[in-house]
Amino acid sequence: MKSADHGAGATDPSSNEAEYLKHRTLQRGAAGWVLLAGLGVAYVISGDFAGWNLGLAEGGWGGLLIAFVLMGIMYTCMVFGLAEMSSSLPTAGAGYAFARRALGPLGGYATGIAVLIEYAVAPAAIATFIGGYIEALGLFGLTNSWPVYLVTYVLFIGIHLRGVGEALKIMFAITAVAVVALVAVVIGLLPKFDPAKLFDIVPDGSAGSSAFLPMGISGVLAALVYGIWFFLAVEGVPLAAEESADPKKDMPKGIIVAVVILVVFGALMLVLVPGAAGSQAMSTSDNPLPEAIRLAYGGNTLLADFINYAGLAGLVASFFSIIYAYSRQLFALSRAGYLPKWLSLTGSRRTPYWALIVPGTIGFLLAAMTQDGALLINIAVFGATVSYVLLNLSHIVLRIKEPELERGYRTPGGIATTSVALVLSAVAVVATFVVDVFAASITAGIFGAAIAYYWFYSRHRIVTGSPDEEFAKLALAEAELK
């Protein structure tokens, strides 16, 4: 099936378009703003349990603190922009659809691919942390975690195949357990907090190094990647637009509540965990929260075991929810013809089964072959930061090009807010190269191959009747009328 990309070499779909879209339909009305806020927290909450602490080895506590503040500002400003765009353009394409309307087909596709890289690789990184937590508990006598990765992918993809309503409710329940665990960490570590332990990493003598910045100014840039891990994927909430009850009202409320919760918990973990157990000890840990409890109390405790088990809930919540995110982004790109169309087929339960299974298989193989959470974090973050540049740019362009566009929510500060996020996201792109040139190069290679696929093949086969493309056609028609 072919359709126009507003360019040469393409034909418009005809009578078979309705039949095409009939097999690519999601379940509507499955989520209100509370479930959407829970989805936003679920995407990210694993970042509080593991991964962020690796930034202590890159920039020390001071470097990671600055990175957290900068990335917290970036995400908060960006979320305000996303809240506006999702209230105006509520489709499953989310970031791709926003950029498609603002920047054209290539800009939309590039944004969608960057998001897809992020969401396809992030669960693989989280799977390695799930394996680390299970090994720390001594469960099943495992010495290699690949069976954990396999069971995790099969189980949670299977739940998603059952239906979005069931998946979101289970996700919400798991996230609630994880939130309880974080509250327990705060209560347990607060009496053991010692500010001196934040600064126990010995300065390495680099330019500007000190007890506060043991790796100097360059350590701040290197730590930005791990500052992002506190928030990575919260921007995926708008991907649920076609399955929400009232996207114009629910989307802004859900995503803003989510980012506020994440800022609070991220700040608490950053201060209390190394402040009770020491930054040096936490800088290399695969399971920092229960390990911090054990170090703070001089041995194993019931609280540490509870955090260890509940920490699995946090990791599972993010793993589970990002599977949802990658499937919806892949579904939207495929439905519109940018990627192979069979990937967007939905079954009797209105779930995109190939869009769930194919990235899940790739993610499992990545986790099993590398078993390197830090490498996978860096690949995911590179994709994310590229998408953030394009998303913030899209908000600015839409405000300038379409000031009369109906908006259910308006970003406080307008384009000044998203301009701050744009600058910080561009800095974050540079930071990925500082931390890991190899990971950034891998991601750039995948991104380049995807752009070549678009340029030589899929741009001539766009399905103009898909919802995301319909929004773009409306904008074009309105511009022509004016």
Helix axes 288-297, 95-137, angle to 10 degrees: 40
Buried b (16+ CB within 10 A) or exposed e, 422-461: bebbbebbebbebbbeebbebbbebbeebeebbeeebbbb
pLDDT score recorded for residue 248: 77
Angle, CA 287 vertex, CA 286 and CA 288 arms, to 5°? 105
What is the distance between the alpha carbons of residues 352 and 243, in angstroms, rounded to a whole number? 13
Number of C-alpha atoms within 13 angstroms, CB side, residue 421? 32
What is the distance between the alpha carbons of residues 182 and 262, in angstroms, rounded to a whole number? 11
- CB distance 329 to 116 below 8 Å: yes
415: helix, coil or strand?
A: helix
What is the distance between the alpha carbons of residues 336 and 110, in angstroms, rounded to a whole number? 14
pLDDT score recorded for residue 43: 85
pLDDT score recorded for residue 448: 92
How buried is 161 (Cβ within 10 angstroms: 0-12 exposed, 13-18 middle, 19+ buried)? middle
Alpha carbon dihedral 180, 185, 190, 195, in 10-degree steps, equals -140
Domain boundaries, the chain: 30-464
Flag residues of the chain having pLDDT under 50.
Answer: 1-15
pTM: 0.85
pLDDT score recorded for residue 8: 35
- How many C-beta atoms surround the C-beta of residue 238 within 10 A? 32
- CB distance 112 to 95 below 8 Å: yes
What is the distance between the alpha carbons of residues 482 and 479, in angstroms, rounded to a whole number? 5
Q: Which CATH number fits domain 30-464: 1.10.268.10, 3.30.450.20, 3.40.50.720, 1.20.1740.10?
A: 1.20.1740.10
pLDDT score recorded for residue 399: 93
- CB distance 133 to 311 below 8 Å: yes
- Of 354, 360, 96, give the one whose Cα is nearest residue 238: 96
Tokens of 6: 């507003």
pLDDT score recorded for residue 190: 96
